[in-house]
Structures are given as structure tokens and as C-alpha cells.
Chains A and B, each alone.
Chain A
Amino acid sequence: MECSSPPPLTDDQLSAALDQAAAPDVIDHLASCASCAARLEAAQQAEQSMRSALYRWDCPTPQTIADYHLGRPSAEEQRAIVRHLETCARCSEELAELVLFMRDEAALAAPAEPSPARRPASRGWSLARLLPRVPALALRGGAGAPLMFETDDGVTIFLELQPVAGGQIELRGQLVADDQDGWAGALAELRQSGILRATAAIDDLGTFRVAALPPQPTELRVTRADGRALRLPEFELAS
């Protein structure tokens, strides 16, 4: 394909177009010349491919930067972080934000959260859905079939409910995921009427247990330290 309005655009003119800083005549040329427009598109794709591969590839995590702020890493690790901060505006900005945040003595009163209907859709929580109960999976005599929940990103949660003394319910959970190791140490939170009732840590087999809860509608959230989190729809805590 040849330029329809020679001479073709130079590489520098295409660079300007990449930065959305092209002169009006360059913009007009691109609008009317398929050949130069194709060259621009190829340049855009090449650059985007490179940027995508490189995006903050060597930046320490916010946790590492935070630990650096506390002086926790070794001397060698500290030196490496200092060297990185000298040439990384984004990490320097994160550190500055951290320093300001830690110094700020926030007032005790928290602003009210918007009601759930007005709250923006959460991208942090992975929402699980309840699956039909399978009686054959009941594991212990006297307990009904476990509740099963599943998320779109391949995590399955089994909940076994067992009545215990005082009319309460013992809950035993099992989380199964492709990246099972990543869920070890995750924190399970159980709430009833919005109030936190119990917490439990997921062990390395994906199991957790809460000894006794009142038989009320219950919400379960499980959150990993890396921010992956799932949330079950409210379920009846009854065997």
C-alpha cells in the first residue's frame, strides 16, 4: 500500500500522533491516507504491546514500600528500594501518600457508607452463588447436605452446619481453588445483621471452623492478604 498523498508522514510525525500531539495537517493526512493510517496503527500496537509488558514490572509492592517506611527490610533491601525510588515517580508518589496518611490523625467519626442500592458495583469482591444442595455429599450423620457456593473465578466453598448445645450452629467450611496455597491464611468473617460475629483463618487445607453461632441469616466473606476476596450471599444458618 502506498501513501495516497505523498510524501508519506515521517516517523517523527507518527510519534507526535502517538502522543496525540500531531499538527492539524498530520491529522488531516491520516484521515485521508490509508497507508499512513496503517503505519500509525502498527506503531500504536507495537508501543502498546511494549508498555503492557513493561508496566511497573520491577516496582516493589505497596507492602514492600510500606515495610521500607517502617525500616523493616534488611540494609541491602533498603538500599535497593532507595535506588528504585530515585527513578520511579509512581513509587515515590505512593510513599509520599503513605507518609501523609500515617501522620494524619483522622477524626473518630466515620462518614456513613452509601446504602447498598447506591453503592458502586464492587470490583474487589468476587461474588459466589449458591448451588443446588446434593444430599449425597452429606458427610456426617445428623447433618444435612453441605451448602455449596461457587465463584466465577473457580473457587468452591462447602459449608457444613451442625447443631450444637444451646441451640447454636457449628460451621465447618472447606474452600477449594486451583490456587489452593494462595488461600491459606485468608481471613473468614461471619456477620449477622451486619455485625461481625466470628472470624477464622483458613488453614493450608482450605478448612476453617466456627464453634457456635446463633441460627440467623449469615454472611460470609473470605479475604486474602493480596486483596483477592470473595463474598457469599446471605444464607440461613440452619442444619
Chain B
Amino acid sequence: MSLVDSFSLDDLTQRCASETEKFNRREPSDARFCFELLRRALADEMSDAFTRVYQIYERQVLVWVHSHSGFARSGESADYFGSTAWSKFYFALCGPKFDSFPSLQQVLAYLKLCVHTAIAQYLRDQQPAPTMPLDDAPNAAHLPDLGTRIVAAELWRQIEQLLTDRRDRLLARCAFVEDLKPRQIVKAYPTFWKDEREISVELYRIRRLLRNDPELRRLAS
């Protein structure tokens, strides 16, 4: 049994908070206390311990939210992303899953990563499907259901049968799956297409091929 195992929750919290302050001041710090607090919170699923962890790192999480390049364009509140990140973090590391994270640095890196995935998922969900006006875009956490994905898979399979050229498939994917504009496609694939005009002309040809296919029309309707 190590020294930290015998600490009460209050003592552990106090030591963790103190060592975290030292770390933030770029002073030498001891990671054992915070790691043990996190272990009790996540591996042992002690809600009191998790509350303490949340309280100690809450400000850091909000700093990460504000520093993320996607936060400003999301238009959403920081506390929403903070809560989502904590929920993801808990879900990903609770119980035996915590064993995959043997150090404080790795645990906190994953917490930071959860901030990113919270924002990235929100931004992806808020981008409206092309038929939808922005105001009607679904709330966060919209994910295509299984039925929708099956239809999409069939649709894409049919498109691949019609477009045998690799460049055509890539262009169709950029335009119809990723909803990229010609200028974005040129930027992403400068070795394939040199300008927007070239993309537009190739899209005309691709559309002619796709438009004439009755099976595609049936699947898309």
C-alpha cells in the first residue's frame, strides 16, 4: 500500500490542489496525489472524489475551451463544452478503462482531448445538412441513424459504380459527401485540380453521368 492510498479524501484534495498550483507556476510538483484522487474518482467511481477533481481542474478545462480554435465560431457557451468534456472524460475512463492511463500526464491529456472532441462534434453537428436552413439545424449530438447510413452506403455504392475514375470519385466525394465548395477542393487537393473553373467543368460532366441513372434517382428520392 503506497503512502497516498492512506490519505483521506480531504487531505488528498488539498495536496492535489497544492501540487496543481505548483505545476501551474512551473515549479517542481508531485503528481501522485492528483493521480490517486483521479484513480478514486474514475477507477473506483467515487462521486465525491470526482466532484473534487472537477473542482480542481474546472478552470483549466474552461481555459482549454476558450483556447480551442473552434470555440469562437461555435457561438456556444464555454460551460456547455466544459460539461460535455467532463462527461466524455468520465464515460471514457470510468471503471477498468482507467487502467489504460498509467500517469497523471496521460489522464490530463485525455481530459484536454475531450475538450476538443466536445467542440469538434458540436461543430460537425451544427453544420446543416445541405437541405436545411441554418435555424433548423439539429441540436448537438445529432448523428445519422443506422437507417440513414444504410441508405447513404447504397447511394454511394451506386455512385462508385457510375464513376469508375478515381479522380471523379474523389471530386464527387468532396462535393456531395463533404459539401466542399470548389475553392475548398482546390486548396485541399492542389495536385489534382489547379483552379475552380476546372472543378466546375468536371462537376458538370459528373452530374450528367449521375443525373441519367434511374437507380440513383430512386435511391436519392
Measured CB to CB, the residues of A under 8 A from B are 11-12, 15-16, 18-19, 21, 43, 46-59, 61-63, 65-66, 69-70, 72, 87-90, 92, 94, 97-98, 100-102, 104, 106-111, 113, 119-120, 122-126, 153, 185-187, 189, 196-201, 210, 221, 223-229
Contact = CB atoms under 8 A, between A and B. Distances in A.
A63 B115 CA distance: 10
Contacts of B90: 185, 187, 201, 225
Nearest to A202: B87
Contact of B176 (A51, A70, A108, A196): A51
Contacts of A224: 87, 141
B124 A56 contact: yes
A53 B117 contact: no
Contacts of B88: 63, 225
A59 B179 CA distance: 13
20 contacts: A43-B211, A52-B131, A53-B151, A53-B219, A54-B176, A55-B130, A55-B179, A56-B178, A66-B117, A90-B178, A97-B120, A102-B113, A106-B67, A187-B91, A198-B47, A200-B47, A201-B47, A223-B84, A227-B140, A229-B140
Contact of A187 (B67, B83, B124, B137): B83
Interface in B2-52: 24, 45, 47-48, 50-51
B105 to A, nearest CB: 12
A100 B109 contact: no
Chain A binding surface, main DSSP class? mixed
Contacts of A111: 66
B107 interface: no
Q: Which of A53, A224, A229 has the most B CB atoms < 10 Å from its CB? A: A53
B78 A199 contact: no
B86 to A, nearest CB: 6
B152 A110 contact: no
A7 to B, nearest CB: 17
A128 to B, nearest CB: 14
Interface string B139-180: 111011000110111011000000000000010011111111
Given A89-B178, A201-B45, A228-B141, A49 B220 contact: yes
Interface in B104-147: 109-110, 112-113, 115-118, 120-122, 124-126, 129-132, 137, 139-141, 143-144
A102 B116 CA distance: 9
A11 B201 CA distance: 12
A87 B170 contact: yes
Contacts of A199: 47, 50-51, 54
Contact of B76 (A43, A89, A100, A124): A124
B194 interface: no
A109 B63 contact: yes
Contact of A50 (B113, B117, B120, B176): B176
Contact of B217 (A19, A46, A226, A228): A46
B203 A66 contact: no
A113 B47 contact: no
Q: Which of A43, A54, A119, A198 has the most B CB atoms < 10 Å from its CB? A: A54
Contacts of A106: 63-64, 66-67
Given A50-B220, A66-B116, A229 B179 contact: no
Given A87-B170, A122-B80, A54 B177 contact: yes
Nearest to B189: A89
A113 B75 CA distance: 12
A119 B77 CA distance: 7
Interface string B179-221: 1101011001100000000001001100110110000110111
A101 B116 contact: yes
B121 A19 contact: no
Given A43-B211, A104-B67, A123-B140, A229 B80 contact: yes
A203 to B, nearest CB: 11
Contacts of B130: 48, 51-52, 55
B55 interface: yes
Given A187-B87, A196-B51, A199-B47, A49 B221 contact: yes
